[in-house]
Amino acid sequence: MNTPLLEVDGLKKHFPLRGGWLRRVTGQLRAVDGVSFRLQAGRTLGLVGESGCGKSTLGRAILRLQEPTAGRVLLEGRDITAMTPAALLAARRRMQIIFQDPYASLNPRRTVGQAIREPLDVHRIGTPVERDARVLELLDTVGLSARVRHRYPHEFSGGQRQRVGIARALALEPALIVADEPVSALDVSVQGQVLNLVARLQRERGIAFLFISHDLAVIQHVSDAVAVMYLGRIVEYGPAALLYREPQHPYTQALLSAVPMPDPARRRRRIVLPGEVPSPVASPAGCAFHPRCPRARALCRQERPELRSLPGGDPGSQVACHFPGPG
Amino acid sequence: MAGTALLSVRNLTVEFDGRAGRLRAVDAISFDVLAEETLALVGESGCGKTVTGLSLLRLVPQPPGHIVAGEVLLDGEDLLALPERALRRLRGRDIAMIFQEPMTALNPVFSIGAQLGTVLRRHQGLSRRAARARALELLEQVGIPEPARRIDEYPHQLSGGQRQRVMIAMALSCGPRLLVADEPTTALDVTTQAQVLAEIGRLQRELRMAMILVTHDLGIVAESCDRAAVMYCGRIVEMRTTAALFSTPHHPYTVGLLEAIPRIREERLADLPVIPGRVPDLAQLPAGCHFAARCPRATDLCREVVPAPLPTADGGLVACHHPYP
């Protein structure tokens, strides 16, 4: 089998919690607690979960924007976590990130043209004239007119700023883009425009996306495969169509049933989960979901279920549950 | 739905001082809220739905806001013309409001019990002890776990979902006839949102209360509301029962919005349908119909003449020169 574009193996990111006047470490916040998956070139993995599940931290740890506590991240077979700063800088040409609020990542005093050109300047790609030409090309790719390059970020709407963020991420022709809630701050009539742009880039340029969102409908629209996270771990993974049609994990089922559907004629059975997501500082023993799970039994309180393929089930799907099955 | 109007809004117009002069955030809108019904005010950011909700109780900061015209009639009395003292008595007692971010509405330095107690003592004249007992009851009613312990905690000690439940308890403490809920679950996760919406629905039925639900989420409209008013650039473009709105939307904006929302589908689409362009800036609103520039059905008439709201066959309203059948 050929090498996947991205291979994440046992990735952990823990944040020490300090207390007392000596600021001693009193505990660990396990934001990402042992995540493994593979992403092939040109494919999109949707990473979905509620706030605090660790999905954004996972995205940042993969790019080493935050140092992982343990585990490996292989990009095109090379271990990102073991790279020297110089090697990491070079590797970053191959992987870029776009954020929920591009406004926060754009310098307000630099024009949009300068912002898009910056990665080319940093990596010394082409002559200055070639870089300017490339900026025009990138603006065109994301559907912005050439004249906007002289404007400043505050003069743009949210949707346009997100296009600028995407143009900037595309400048280095990366193989992988981590997109962290890229449409969550946008109105629905604009969301579609940005999602279609992402889909087109993937089709035409073969860029792989790790697409992080809390929105199950958005995730379904862009993803080939989906990973559902709960308290720092993947609880279910599989091809998007199958995972949405026949979710096996009770958390995935509850999550899907909780999404309000814009269709008053269709009445569904809603699974309302009791309680709330526990703190990642004091994750429950056994299966972290057991206190809220309608299927929990004694085994679930004692032993943590590993992510595995089900015997007789789809070989490309995995679920971390002692009692998986349709709801 | 019985047809008696609890609240009637007529010709409400609200403006704000902007850098380049007055901006009209709400443009002569009229609607009724019927007893015990849930009416959605739905639209994208900047459409005027929140300002409308705030204006009903004159909660728009003035200045920079100005309620320049209109009436809000409750029992035949115009709330916009009431003296401030009378209005303050009425807030909470007859009409209560909850917001998207309860943390901004709760006072961080007082315990939950103290804040609930203040409302109960002021509006219902309860003694300190009776107010505490009632506060405990209310916390239990809105589904706060371990209310006896929670009552002495401070807002920051609660999760987002619990804070919103406390806000609901406070809003419902005086048994209002109308609740104005402005994006009450937007800041919450989807499973918590489901809990809180279920709770609001249950309490609404128990208390036989009407509700105006301000939201951008058409999924929530479909599942929780009897009727919906779709707003665009300060105007109501279509107002129908929820079932009618979703099955036969008449206004091209409603049609576009319903197609554009990312929804969980049986089959994945190659491309999401989109509404071209974007919402115009309030400082540069076009003449005529504000949606004309993005509308596939627009003609010269639309660019010149504001379409008046006209009744539909099913008792709703649509403001469009060329509505879909």
Give the H/E segment covering residue B52: helix B49-56
B191 and B70 within one domain: yes
B169 and B111 within one domain: yes
Torsional class of B18: left (φ above 0), alpha (ψ -120 to 50), beta (otherwise): beta
Judged by CB atoms closer than 8 Å, whether chains meet at B191 and A189 is answered as no
The reported pLDDT for the residue numbered A1 is 54
B15 and B68 within one domain: yes
Judged by CB atoms closer than 8 Å, whether chains meet at A244 and B264 is answered as yes
At position B79, the amino acid (one-letter code) is L
Reported as a pLDDT band with limits 50, 70 and 90, residue B178 is very high
Torsion, CA A60, CA A65, CA A68, CA A73, rounded to 10: 70
CA atoms within 13 A on the CB side of B317: 19
At position A217, the amino acid (one-letter code) is A
> Taking residues B293-300, what's their average pLDDT?
95
B301 and B218 within one domain: yes
Separation between Cα atoms, residue B183 and residue B216, nearest integer Å? 8
Name the CA radius of gyration of chain A, rounded. 21
Strands, E, within B133-254: which ranges? Answer: 178-182, 210-215, 227-232, 235-241
Separation between Cα atoms, residue B16 and residue B24, nearest integer Å? 6
Comparing CA positions, the residue from A77, A81, A137, A91 lying closest to residue A113 is: A137
Judged by CB atoms closer than 8 Å, whether chains meet at A217 and B258 is answered as no
> For B204-235, how does the pLDDT look when each residue is reduced to its tens digit (9 = 90+)?
998 899 999 999 999 999 999 999 999 999 99
Q: What is the pLDDT along chain A (327 residues), one digit of tens a residue?
A: 578 999 999 999 999 888 777 778 888 888 999 999 999 999 999 999 988 889 999 999 999 999 999 999 999 999 999 999 999 988 989 999 998 876 677 888 999 999 999 999 998 999 999 999 999 999 998 888 888 999 998 888 888 888 999 999 999 999 999 999 998 888 888 888 889 888 888 889 999 999 999 999 999 989 999 999 999 999 999 999 999 999 999 999 999 998 888 888 776 778 888 887 887 787 888 999 999 999 999 999 999 999 999 988 899 999 999 999 987
Judged by CB atoms closer than 8 Å, whether chains meet at A192 and B273 is answered as yes
Q: How far is A20 from chain B (nearest CA, A)?
A: 19
For chain B, the average pLDDT equals 90
* Residue A26 near chain B (CB below 8 Å): no
Question: Please, is A222 exposed, middle or buried when counting C-beta atoms within 10 Å of its C-beta (0-12, 13-18, 19+)?
Answer: buried
For residue A267, the chain B residue with the least C-alpha distance is B223
Using a CB-CB distance cutoff of 8 angstroms, which residues of chain B are in contact with residue A275? 145
For residue A143, the chain B residue with the least C-alpha distance is B277
> Which residue would you say has higher pLDDT here, B42 or A101?
B42
ipTM of the shown complex: 0.82
- Which residue, chain included where needed, has tokens 């919450």? B188
* Residue A264 near chain B (CB below 8 Å): yes
Would B323 be classed as within a structural domain? no
> Taking residues B303-307, what's their average pLDDT?
96
Reported as a pLDDT band with limits 50, 70 and 90, residue B3 is low
Would A158 be classed as within a structural domain? no
For residue A265, the chain B residue with the least C-alpha distance is B243
Give the H/E segment covering residue B193: helix B190-207
Would A107 be classed as within a structural domain? no
Would B139 be classed as within a structural domain? yes
> Which residue would you say has higher pLDDT here, B269 or B50?
B50
Using a CB-CB distance cutoff of 8 angstroms, which residues of chain B are in contact with residue A229? none
Would B260 be classed as within a structural domain? yes
* Residue A281 near chain B (CB below 8 Å): no
DSSP state for residue A306 in the 8-state scheme:
P
> Taking residues B130-158, what's their average pLDDT?
88
Would A153 be classed as within a structural domain? no
Comparing CA positions, the residue from A37, A42, A91 lying closest to residue A208 is: A42
CA–centroid distance for A72 within its chain: 17
B164 and B191 within one domain: no
B57 and B182 within one domain: yes
The reported pLDDT for the residue numbered B24 is 93
Question: Do B212 and B178 contact (CB within 8 A), yes or no?
Answer: yes
For residue A263, the chain B residue with the least C-alpha distance is B222
The reported pLDDT for the residue numbered B284 is 85
DSSP string, A48-104: E--TTSSHHHHHHHHTTSS--SEEEEEETTEEGGG--HHHHHHHTTTEEEE-S-HHH
Separation between Cα atoms, residue A22 and residue A318, nearest integer Å? 44
CB contacts < 8 A, A to B, total 125
Reported as a pLDDT band with limits 50, 70 and 90, residue B165 is confident
Helix, strand, or coil (residue B229): strand
Q: How far is A193 from chain B (nearest CA, A)?
A: 6
* Residue A255 near chain B (CB below 8 Å): yes
B76 and B61 within one domain: yes
Strands, E, within chain B: which ranges? Answer: 5-18, 21-34, 38-42, 65-74, 77-78, 95-98, 178-182, 210-215, 227-232, 235-241, 310-311, 317-318
> For B96-128, how does the pLDDT look when each residue is reduced to its tens digit (9 = 90+)?
999 887 777 788 899 999 999 988 888 888 899
> For B85-101, how does the pLDDT look when each residue is reduced to its tens digit (9 = 90+)?
999 888 888 999 998 87
B108 and B39 within one domain: no
Q: Is the pLDDT of residue B2 over 60?
A: no
Range of the domain at B259: 5-94+178-318
- B 8-37: CB under 8 A from A: none
Helices and strands counted in chain B (H then E):
12, 12
Among B175, B209, B230, the domain-final residue is: B175
For residue A203, the chain B residue with the least C-alpha distance is B270
For residue A259, the chain B residue with the least C-alpha distance is B190
Would A83 be classed as within a structural domain? yes
Give the nearest partner residue to B262 out of A217, A256, A277, using CB atoms: A217
* Residue B283 near chain A (CB below 8 Å): no
* Residue B272 near chain A (CB below 8 Å): yes
Give the nearest partner residue to B262 out of A191, A244, A255, using CB atoms: A191
> For A267-283, how does the pLDDT look when each residue is reduced to its tens digit (9 = 90+)?
677 888 888 788 778 78
B252 and B237 within one domain: yes
Separation between Cα atoms, residue A181 and residue A159, nearest integer Å? 13
Range of the domain at A62: 6-94+174-319
B301 and B210 within one domain: yes
Separation between Cα atoms, residue B166 and residue A12, nearest integer Å? 36
For residue B158, the chain A residue with the least C-alpha distance is A276
Which tokens belong to A107? 């310098």
Would A284 be classed as within a structural domain? yes
Helices and strands counted in chain A (H then E):
11, 11
Number of domains in chain A: 1
Query: Rounded to a whole number, what is the largest CA-CA distance in chain B?
Result: 67
The reported pLDDT for the residue numbered A267 is 67
Percent pLDDT > 70 in chain B is 99
The reported pLDDT for the residue numbered A301 is 95
Among B120, B153, B175, the domain-final residue is: B175
Question: Please, is A70 exposed, middle or buried when counting C-beta atoms within 10 Å of its C-beta (0-12, 13-18, 19+)?
Answer: middle
Separation between Cα atoms, residue A78 and residue A91, nearest integer Å? 9
Among B175, B202, B218, the domain-final residue is: B175
Would B99 be classed as within a structural domain? no
CATH of the domain at B202: 3.40.50.300
Number of domains in chain B: 2
* Residue B81 near chain A (CB below 8 Å): no
Judged by CB atoms closer than 8 Å, whether chains meet at B268 and A265 is answered as no
* Residue A152 near chain B (CB below 8 Å): no
B163 and B249 within one domain: no
Judged by CB atoms closer than 8 Å, whether chains meet at B268 and A218 is answered as no
CATH of the domain at A85: 3.40.50.300
Give the H/E segment covering residue A24: strand A24-39
Query: Which residues are CB-neighbours of A80 under 8 A, at least 6 positions away?
Result: A62, A63, A64, A73, A74, A88, A91
B183 and B217 within one domain: yes
